[in-house]
Amino acid sequence: MIRINVTSVLVDDQDKALDFYTEKLGFEKKTEIPAGEYRWLTVCSPADPDGPELVLEPDNHPAAGVFKKALVEDGIPFASFAVDDARAEYERLSAAGVRFTQEPLEMGDITTTVLDDTCGNLIQLASSR
């Protein structure tokens, strides 16, 4: 059976990303290993600390900036995270100063909202009823 072990989000600054993903979104730092100029830096959900890890991957490849900019300009999230209640997360994170590009939107049994992660990405939060 195939399962997700790690996945990445491309970030322009690992320290800024670690702060945002832990202090604002509520992930926990899982791994930090020096790797030359950068680090192998991962976060995980406190609800599943042994589950999939999110790598805060430096976006230093020349194609990364072009790719990320195009996604943001078109309003396309780079990643989607499951939450219990997208509307409640929107309220909580808005109060904490997080900028959203999409207010909660109901689409059948799914509610989504999209935030700016301050590191060059749009991130979707989604919940189902």
The residue extents of the domains of the chain are: 6-128
Could you tell me the two tokens for 76?
Answer: 């396309």
Tell me which amino acid residue 71 is.
L
List of residues 6+ apart from 127 with CB closer than 8 A? 82, 83, 84, 85, 86, 87, 89, 110, 111
Segments of the chain with pLDDT less than 70: none
CA distance 53 to 70: 25
Distance CA 14, CA 72 (A): 19
pLDDT of 110? 98
pLDDT value of position 121: 98
| Model confidence pTM above 0.75 | yes
Q: How far apart are CA 90 and CA 99, in angstroms?
A: 10
- Residue 129 pLDDT: 87
Host H or E run for residue 113:
strand 110-116
Instruction: Count Cβ atoms below 10 Å from residue 27 Cβ, excluding itself.
Output: 20
Q: Which CATH superfamily is domain 6-128 in?
A: 2,3-Dihydroxybiphenyl 1,2-Dioxygenase, domain 1 (3.10.180.10)
Q: What is the pLDDT of residue 37?
A: 93
Question: 102-121: string of b/e by CB count within 10 Å (b at 16+)?
Answer: eebeeeeeebbbbbebbbbb
Average pLDDT, the chain: 97
Tell me what pLDDT residue 104 has.
98
